[in-house]
Amino acid sequence: MASSKNTYIIRFAIIYFLIAIGFGLVVRKIIQIQHPEKQRWLALSDSLRRVNRELEIEPTRGNIYSDEGLLMASTVPDYFLSIDFQTPALRDKGGKLFKDNLDSLALCLSAKFKDKTPTEYRNYLMQGYISKQRNFPINKIKISHVDYKAIKEFPLFRLGIRSGLIAQKRVKRIKPYGSLAAITIGDLFGEKNKGAKYGIEAAYDQYLRGKPGKAHFERKAGANILVPNQEPENGADIMSTINVEMQDIAEKALRERLSALNADLGCVVLMETKTGQVKACVNLKREDQGVYRESESIVLRYRLEPGSTFKIPAMMAALEDGLVKPTDTVDCGKGKWQFNEKVLISDHNTGEMSNGKITAADAIIRSSNVGMSKLIYRAYKNDPQRYVNTLRRMGVGMPMDVGFPGAVKASIRGPHENPLWAPSDLASMAFGYSVNMPLLYTLAFYNAIANNGEMIAPSFIKKIVRNGQVVKEFEPKVLKKSICSPRTLATIKDMMLQVVEAPEHSTGKAVKSAYVRIAGKTGTARYDYNGKESDDSQYKYQVSFCGFYPYENPQYTCIVFIRNPVGVPSGGNMAGPVFREIAERIMAKRSFVTIDKFQFDSLRTRQPAIATGNINALSVVLKGLKFHFDDAKFPNWVSAQADTTNTVRFQPYRYQAKTVPSVIGMGLKDALFLVEKMGLKATITGRGRVCAQSIQAGLPLKKGQAINLTLK
């Protein structure tokens, strides 16, 4: 018995010992896995879970804003939705989860997309379930982020990864204001943020693009889940100088003018005088259908002979060098100057309408090609390089970085730089030929005149912001502190004002405004001669107007350019009205003057004129205006007179029942009521109060008789 008991104890000890050894080995293996082999097993786990090794997460591209903070360009997501019908939760228990939710899901999808009936959606989804497709499309359209959030709450899909719902996210670039400033804002290649074509999108792509992150897909609960390794760095936001309201005003004014002139193309650039910030930049070109669209950057890409707008820097150079005075005279003859056997210089007004002898100031005001070329040639013929050097010293054509790669530069070459220089080049440079001045260069120089001589580079960007923090701020870039002497500046500004306001012979009369004083210069230039310089009919023209306003305290400088308009080419008559409309509308919207700021006009009475009429209506108005009036009882119709104490005195208005009443002095409402009450049929001419009636008061009344009331 004892021997049997000992045997059991030995057996139990052996088993216990073996179990302890096994447990020890397990503990040892756990420790080994947790520490020495930890990284190897984690890597193996990752490799088993990961569907692929690594992929790139696209960052969200930064937004572009206007100077008022309005969104001009933004990246928004959209989605293609599909179902992974191999998701385990959808296959378990014979597909119970899927089948229980199928009818309600089909009903919701039908109501949302309206492209299939609930029955058609049910059959369609069941077909996908039977086929066991891994990426079965729910429909073939992209949906917005808002729609995606709503669909995720549909039956079945609200279960998350168990539902097998797959959302393939894509991004697209939108412009909330459509084509407004489209060329300036720019565009991208395709929808995948892989590069920018032009405009701010291209110039500041390095900031807008951001930095991509890293991620991988893992298999969890039978579904592929995107797991980020490194979060992307989203792009910074660009705060532009473009003002949506001003851009809209400029674009509408130019588009209407281009259509009226049937021109090929046109552009407008509006610049804030003190800061150089470009508030509007319009580039419109006629398409095949006759519609004008923003399709290329005329402002940045076109090389131009500016024509008569160059007469301003030409005159300034001669004034600055002391070689010409405003009162100097020049003989324009009959409006033509045969410089040599090949070069004929002509004015726009020739023959009997020619300028004859005029002053240097008149050469600018009348925009005389002959006058300007004779003045400049006479001043610099012995040293033409001096003329070019003076232009450069003033900053004409000075190189400037406007923030857009590939923007064309100005070219002004004298005899030292131009091996093909001819004496006639000096004469033609006086009125804008043999030089190259892109629009922004002309605008910047004119802006310097408006800005008391300080020349600032045009700018399109105010600042770059990332996550609310300013990354980079763009201050005004001063190119020259002073382009010329104060005396020259004052003289040329007065000439530019007279271009618009001179009562006779000025070329800018169409620019004159009754509301804002404008100073500037017209420009008309030939281009595309077709090799037939002797045949005027073969010429094509481009017209322009560049100037600033208001003259007393310039706020904005603007250039308007139109190419190949139909009709007699004239910078003043064709481009000028666009400039004037922009100036008037912007100043009207930017006016902060209220009525209390105006001084009282001593010639006007302080009391309103009070028409004869119904006493009850008059009493209501007079009480509102806080006038005192008699409380005595009067008949329904009264005449009234106000005195200097703001007291109104009524007098009964009397008329005979069978005679034509006098309604002179009444408002239209009271006059109509009375004459129609008397049986007359009234016709109305004009607006205001009745100043005349066709039938004299007091004549016998004939009911049905017509009476005409003239209002003024």
d(CA 276, CA 539): 35
- CA 654 to chain CA centroid, Å, is 62
Give the mean model confidence (pLDDT) for residues 133-156.
87
CATH 2.60.34.10 for domain 613-711, yes or no, is: no
Higher pLDDT, 61 or 487: 487
Reported confidence tier of residue 593, pLDDT bands at 50, 70, 90 = very low
User: Residue 184, exposed/middle/buried by CB under 10 A (0-12, 13-18, 19+)?
Assistant: buried
Mean pLDDT of the chain: 85
Task: Please determine, for residue 56, whether its predicted confidence score (pLDDT) is greater than 90.
Answer: no
Task: Please determine, for residue 633, whether its predicted confidence score (pLDDT) is greater than 70.
Answer: no
For position 389, what pLDDT does the model report?
Answer: 96
Task: Identify whether the C-beta of residue 460 lies closer than 8 Å to the C-beta of residue 238.
Answer: no
Of 138-142, 229-233, 281-285, 327-331, the one with minimum mean pLDDT is 229-233
Of 25-39, 253-267, 555-569, the one with minimum mean pLDDT is 25-39
- Which segment, 431-440, 612-621, 636-645, is predicted with the most confidence on average? 431-440
d(CA 494, CA 487): 11
Reported confidence tier of residue 603, pLDDT bands at 50, 70, 90 = very low
The beta-strand segments (E) located in 89-212 are 136-137, 143-144, 165-174, 187-188, 196-198
pLDDT tens digits for range 398-408: 999 999 988 99
Task: Please determine, for residue 253, whether its predicted confidence score (pLDDT) is greater than 50.
Answer: yes
Task: Please determine, for residue 694, whether its predicted confidence score (pLDDT) is greater than 60.
Answer: yes
Reported confidence tier of residue 250, pLDDT bands at 50, 70, 90 = very high
- Which positions ≥6 away from 536 have C-beta within 8 Å? none
Task: Please determine, for residue 273, whether its predicted confidence score (pLDDT) is greater than 80.
Answer: yes
For position 167, what pLDDT does the model report?
Answer: 86
For position 601, what pLDDT does the model report?
Answer: 47
For position 695, what pLDDT does the model report?
Answer: 82
Q: Which residue has the tokens 């999808």?
A: 109
Task: Please determine, for residue 595, whether its predicted confidence score (pLDDT) is greater than 50.
Answer: no
Higher pLDDT, 684 or 485: 485
Task: Please determine, for residue 411, whether its predicted confidence score (pLDDT) is greater than 80.
Answer: yes
Reported confidence tier of residue 513, pLDDT bands at 50, 70, 90 = very high
Task: Please determine, for residue 572, whether its predicted confidence score (pLDDT) is greater than 70.
Answer: yes
d(CA 362, CA 355): 9
pLDDT tens digits for range 188-209: 876 554 567 889 999 999 999 8
Fold of 247-589: Beta-lactamase (3.40.710)
Give the mean model confidence (pLDDT) for residues 140-160.
87
CATH 3.30.70.20 for domain 55-239, yes or no, is: no
pTM > 0.95: yes or no: no
Give the mean model confidence (pLDDT) for residues 669-675.
79
Task: Please determine, for residue 330, whether its predicted confidence score (pLDDT) is greater than 90.
Answer: yes
Torsion sign, CA atoms 386, 389, 393, 397: positive
The alpha carbon torsion through 170, 171, 177, 182 (nearest 10 deg) reads: -120
d(CA 180, CA 66): 11
* Type of residue found at 105: L
For position 312, what pLDDT does the model report?
Answer: 97
Give the mean model confidence (pLDDT) for residues 277-304.
91
Give the mean model confidence (pLDDT) for residues 587-596.
64
For position 353, what pLDDT does the model report?
Answer: 75
For position 532, what pLDDT does the model report?
Answer: 46
Of 231-235, 400-404, 666-670, the one with minimum mean pLDDT is 666-670
For position 711, what pLDDT does the model report?
Answer: 79
Of 71-85, 176-190, 464-478, 605-619, the one with minimum mean pLDDT is 605-619
What proportion of the chain, given as a percentage, has pLDDT over 70?
Answer: 85
| Mode of pairing for the β-strands spanning 55-57 and 213-220 | antiparallel
Give the mean model confidence (pLDDT) for residues 42-50.
57
For position 533, what pLDDT does the model report?
Answer: 46
d(CA 195, CA 214): 20
d(CA 512, CA 550): 11
Task: Please determine, for residue 471, whether its predicted confidence score (pLDDT) is greater than 80.
Answer: yes
pLDDT tens digits for range 432-459: 999 999 999 999 999 999 999 999 999 9
Give the mean model confidence (pLDDT) for residues 331-345.
90
DSSP 295: -
Closest to 155 measured CA to CA, from 111, 110, 121, 105: 105
Higher pLDDT, 614 or 700: 700
Of 180-189, 222-231, 433-442, 650-659, the one with minimum mean pLDDT is 222-231
Give the mean model confidence (pLDDT) for residues 57-80.
88
For position 65, what pLDDT does the model report?
Answer: 94
Q: How far is CA 94 from CA 84, 179, 224, 272, in A?
A: 16, 55, 22, 72
For position 187, what pLDDT does the model report?
Answer: 85
For position 534, what pLDDT does the model report?
Answer: 44
* Type of residue found at 340: N
Residues forming beta bridges with residue 690, ordered by sequence position: 711
Task: Identify whether the C-beta of residue 372 lies closer than 8 Å to the C-beta of residue 359.
Answer: no
Give the mean model confidence (pLDDT) for residues 686-693.
80
